[in-house]
Each structure stands twice: as C-alpha cells, then as structure tokens.
C-alpha cells in the first residue's frame, strides 16, 4: 500500500506524477498548462467562498475596463454580429425591467404582439433574426428567413 512518494494522477491532464511528502494536497502536475488550470481552479473556488476576493476581482476588472476604454469598441468591430445581438438583447432586457414585477409572461407577449402588429402587413419579411428565448439561461440563436419561390411547394 502507498507511501508518500506514490505517483498520483494530475487533476488537469491525468498524467501520473510523483507526489511530494511536503505537498500532500498537491493535485496538479508541474506542466505549465496544469499549473494554469490549478490557478484558475483556485480563483473559481475563491470567487465562490470569499466575498472580499470577489469584490476585489470585480473592481480590478472595472479598473481594467477604464484603462482600456477602446476594448469594447474594438470588440464590436471584431465581432459585429455579436455586438448587434447584444444590442438587441439589451433592448429586450430594458423593456423587461420597466415592467412591474410578476408580469414576466405579459412582458414578452406584449413585446411580441407589438412587433407582430407592426409587421402585420409585411409578409415579405425576409432576413436574418435573433430568436431570443424567454428563458433567461438559454442562449439566443440566429435564424434566417427565406422566401420560398412561388410554386415551390
Ligand atoms: Zn498535469
């Protein structure tokens, strides 16, 4: 049965590495990518367990954004599609926020109804749209509407 020097599997890559009697809680091998994984894991753990650390991280993120004011401008340029999607999602979030509490379903219905009304006579509606689910955790997906040529069906 095992002594302290028995090899143990790395949490990140799964390779066995010799455990050190001095670092009994060591779970990651010495590879740089596994050390990075170890640090990321530690940060995740801290974020969950240490409110002060979490606040500090948030603040440094905001400071970073302040120091790099062009980051989002550049991001939108690099990902125009995502920027457009975020813009639409923000509009929807804003509309939801304006509604009194407990009327989530109504919000979406009225929003849809409004869009529907404005497009009622526009059956030539063709293009690219974001399909935004009512369930917040689901991601929006892109759909493309195309006109089926007459006589096709
Ligand atoms: Zn490893």
Per-chain residues with Cβ under 5 A from ion ligand 1: 10, 12-13, 29, 31, 34
Angstrom distances, CA of residue 113 to CA of 94, 104, 109, 119, 135: 17, 14, 6, 10, 18
Alpha helical stretches, state H, the chain: 32-49, 51-67, 71-78, 80-98, 104-118
Q: How many beta carbons lie within 10 A of that of residue 153, not counting itself?
A: 5
Q: Where along the chain do its domains lie?
A: 8-17+25-67, 81-116+125-145
The pLDDT value recorded for residue 119 is 46
Alpha-carbon gap, residue 113 to 131, rounded angstroms: 15
Residue 57 CA to ligand 1 centre (angstroms): 26
DSSP-derived secondary structure letter, 134: S
47 in Cβ contact with 41 (< 8 Å):
no
48 in Cβ contact with 70 (< 8 Å):
no
153 residues of the chain, pLDDT tens digit each: 445 567 889 999 999 998 877 777 788 999 999 999 999 999 989 998 999 999 999 898 889 888 888 887 888 888 887 777 788 778 877 776 665 555 454 445 555 544 544 444 445 566 677 776 666 666 777 777 766 666 655
The pLDDT value recorded for residue 83 is 78
Residue 27 CA to ligand 1 centre (angstroms): 9
| Calculated CA dihedral for residues 66, 54, 101, 106, nearest 10 degrees | 70
Q: What three-state secondary structure class fits 4?
A: coil
107 in Cβ contact with 96 (< 8 Å):
yes
């Amino acid at each position: 049965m095992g002594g302290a020097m028995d090899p143990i599997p790395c949490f990140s890559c799964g390779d066995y590495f010799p455990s050190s009697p001095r670092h009994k809680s060591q779970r990651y091998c010495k590879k740089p990518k596994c050390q990075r994984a170890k640090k990321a894991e530690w940060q995740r753990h801290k974020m969950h367990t240490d409110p002060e650390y979490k606040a500090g991280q948030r603040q440094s993120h905001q400071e970073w954004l302040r120091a790099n004011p062009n980051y989002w401008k550049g991001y939108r340029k690099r990902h125009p599609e995502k920027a457009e999607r975020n813009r639409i999602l923000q509009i929807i979030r804003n509309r939801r926020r304006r509604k009194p509490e407990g009327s989530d379903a109504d919000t979406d219905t009225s929003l849809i109804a409004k869009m529907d009304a404005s497009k009622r006579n526009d059956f030539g509606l063709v293009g690219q749209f974001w399909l935004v689910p009512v369930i917040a955790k689901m991601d929006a997906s892109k759909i493309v509407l195309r006109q089926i040529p007459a006589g096709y069906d």
